[in-house]
Chain A
Amino acid sequence: MSDIAERVKKIVVEHLGVEPDKVTEDSSFIDDLGADSLDTVELVMAFEDEFGVEIPDDAAEKILTVKDAIAFVAAHGK
């Protein structure tokens, strides 16, 4: 679980160009980390690549925070 959290945070840091200490599990990609709608599409693609999962559009729309991403991957990841 903590391994998943670290990998999710690393992707967020790299893709959004934010400082690592700003990324907590409660961080909202758009409200707290300065992402726009295009960035969130790119983030979802990065999660898919990293964890070998497919995240359908309706599920992707509900992934708004770091915690949401960790939970999805934990439930569906390989």
Chain B
Amino acid sequence: MRRVVVTGLGLVTPLGGDVATSWSRLVAGQSGIGPITRFDASDYACRIAGEVPYGDGSDGSFNPDRRLDSKLQRQVDRFIHFGLDAAGQALEDAGLAELTEAEQLRAGVLIGSGIGGLPGIAEESITLHERGPRRVSPHFVHGRLINLVSGQVSIRYGLKGPNHAVVTACSTGAHAIGDAARLIMWDDADIMVAGGAEASICPLGIAGFAQAKALSTRYNDEPTRASRPWDRDRDGFVMGEGAGIVVLEEMERAKRRGATIYGEVVGYGLTGDAYHVTAPHPEGDGAYRAMAMALKRARLDPSDIDYVNAHGTSTPMGDELELGAVRRLFGNAIGRLSMSSTKSAIGHLLGGAGAVESIFCLLSLRDQVVPPTLNLDNPCEGAEGVDLVPHVARERKVEAALNNSFGFGGTNATVIFRKV
């Protein structure tokens, strides 16, 4: 089987508009959560979120003008802005922003989203209602479709191989990377641009998740304290937005051209809970099997894993069930593991989460440091003897890192990366 490595990274997160800013602020223990500014949320049960900071980019903020012209910005939803920019970052980082004709035919894209263009769908439905069908934008459909991050990236960078997208709620980003790696393993492509993008911080998005009782509502006055995975006082997740995109490349090709290799995609596991639309399986069964499947594929033992970037959304049920599944699978090896949830700093990026967090895993391999779990003041039951990296990042050996991502519908994905 052909081996697959990561040679380019791109990030847009609530901590910054690029990889360096997002990562350095994450490791420094900073939070990207604040009051919602995109709309007047004063009537909402949840009034906080992790919004991407906009600016001219000089201070590490997100500058949409850097890779998108004003026309495209107007025509397509925000999640496409984030995805296209992060894909551009990743391709530039990999030195593959300009491909030869032969390379183009062997380069593809597989970027997903959990929800896609919800803000635009909501707004345009109001236009339809108030002004009638002739006032609906001709760009409405293609500007909102989930696979149009992939479509836009393919067109912009001339990627003529597989043009695909994943939609598996909050597992999307991890599934996209795992599936894209397989396309390279099976020789359908040599280069894949893969990941996830999300931008659902809008009235309908916040209202919907709040009605599903998934969001934190107790910390509206102290936003940076709201996302607190495994803490006894956690009360739901905080919505984030952004995108994480990687460039995957067949390993021999990457080595031949002397590319920077962040790590190898060695393991991928995917399972279904077959239990409930929103609640995780009460024994964390699907999560356990996804991790076990990924370890088997990677031919690694639990004791080989140094860092787990957990799904850890800060919901009352999910955090403990994931921890329990890790504990059962890792057995005694759990004592040498570090496991943190970076959602404590950036919130839950839904379809973007698994890809952003995979990039954090890759950066932990590069820098030999694991990012912290913020706000973990009083660990929940079952956390004894597990290094959940409370408050402060930890320098340590990281040879292999595992990302978990679980989504509504009972869908679970685990991806494992190893240093090359």
Query: Footprint of B on A, CB under 8 Å?
Result: 15-17, 38-39, 41-42, 45
Q: B260 at interface (Cβ–Cβ under 8 A)?
A: no
Please name all residues of chain B whose beta carbon is closer than 8 Å to the beta carbon of A17 when the two chains form the complex. 69-71
> Main secondary structure on chain A at its contact with chain B?
helix
**CB-CB contacts of B126-149 with A at 8 A, as 1s and 0s?**
000000001101110000000000
Closest Cβ neighbor of B142 among chain A residues: A38
Closest Cβ neighbor of A37 among chain B residues: B138
Chain B, interface size category, equals under 10
Closest Cβ neighbor of B137 among chain A residues: A42
Q: Is A38 within 8 A of B139, CB to CB? A: yes
Give which listed residue, B69, B70, B134, B139, contacts A42 with CB less than 8 A. B139
Bound-complex Cα distance A45 to B69 (A): 21
Closest Cβ neighbor of A56 among chain B residues: B134
Bound-complex Cα distance A42 to B134 (A): 10
Taking the closest CB of chain B, its distance from the CB of A61, in whole angstroms, is 14
Taking the closest CB of chain B, its distance from the CB of A43, in whole angstroms, is 10
Please name all residues of chain A whose beta carbon is closer than 8 Å to the beta carbon of B138 when the two chains form the complex. 38-39, 41-42, 45
Bound-complex Cα distance A6 to B134 (A): 25
Q: Is A16 within 8 A of B139, CB to CB? A: no
Q: Which 4 A-B pairs have the closest CB atoms?
A: A17-B71, A41-B138, A38-B138, A17-B69
Q: Is B135 within 8 A of A16, CB to CB? A: no
Taking the closest CB of chain B, its distance from the CB of A71, in whole angstroms, is 22
Q: What are 15 pairs between A and B in contact, CB < 8 Å?
A: A15-B71, A16-B71, A17-B69, A17-B70, A17-B71, A38-B138, A38-B139, A39-B138, A41-B138, A42-B137, A42-B138, A45-B134, A45-B135, A45-B137, A45-B138
Bound-complex Cα distance A49 to B135 (A): 9
Please name all residues of chain B whose beta carbon is closer than 8 Å to the beta carbon of A41 when the two chains form the complex. 138
**CB-CB contacts of B65-78 with A at 8 A, as 1s and 0s?**
00001110000000
Closest Cβ neighbor of A54 among chain B residues: B134
**CB-CB contacts of B24-64 with A at 8 A, as 1s and 0s?**
00000000000000000000000000000000000000000
Bound-complex Cα distance A8 to B266 (A): 57
Taking the closest CB of chain A, its distance from the CB of B84, in whole angstroms, is 16
Residue of B69, B137, B138, B139 with highest tally of chain A CB at under 10 A:
B138
Closest Cβ neighbor of A40 among chain B residues: B138
Bound-complex Cα distance A42 to B137 (A): 7
Please name all residues of chain B whose beta carbon is closer than 8 Å to the beta carbon of A42 when the two chains form the complex. 137-139
Beyond contacts A16-B71, A42-B138, A42-B139: 13 other A-B pairs, Cβ-Cβ < 8 A, are: A15-B71, A17-B69, A17-B70, A17-B71, A38-B138, A38-B139, A39-B138, A41-B138, A42-B137, A45-B134, A45-B135, A45-B137, A45-B138
Closest Cβ neighbor of B70 among chain A residues: A17
Taking the closest CB of chain B, its distance from the CB of A45, in whole angstroms, is 7
Could you tell me which residues of chain B, from 66 to 125, have a CB within 8 Å of some CB in chain A?
Answer: 69-71
Please name all residues of chain B whose beta carbon is closer than 8 Å to the beta carbon of A45 when the two chains form the complex. 134-135, 137-138
Bound-complex Cα distance A45 to B71 (A): 15
Taking the closest CB of chain A, its distance from the CB of B156, in whole angstroms, is 15
Taking the closest CB of chain A, its distance from the CB of B139, in whole angstroms, is 6
Closest Cβ neighbor of A41 among chain B residues: B138
Closest Cβ neighbor of B135 among chain A residues: A45
Taking the closest CB of chain A, its distance from the CB of B123, in whole angstroms, is 15
Taking the closest CB of chain A, its distance from the CB of B127, in whole angstroms, is 11
Please name all residues of chain B whose beta carbon is closer than 8 Å to the beta carbon of A15 when the two chains form the complex. 71
Bound-complex Cα distance A63 to B346 (A): 49
Closest Cβ neighbor of A42 among chain B residues: B138
Bound-complex Cα distance A27 to B74 (A): 23
Closest Cβ neighbor of A16 among chain B residues: B71
Closest Cβ neighbor of B139 among chain A residues: A38
Closest Cβ neighbor of B69 among chain A residues: A17
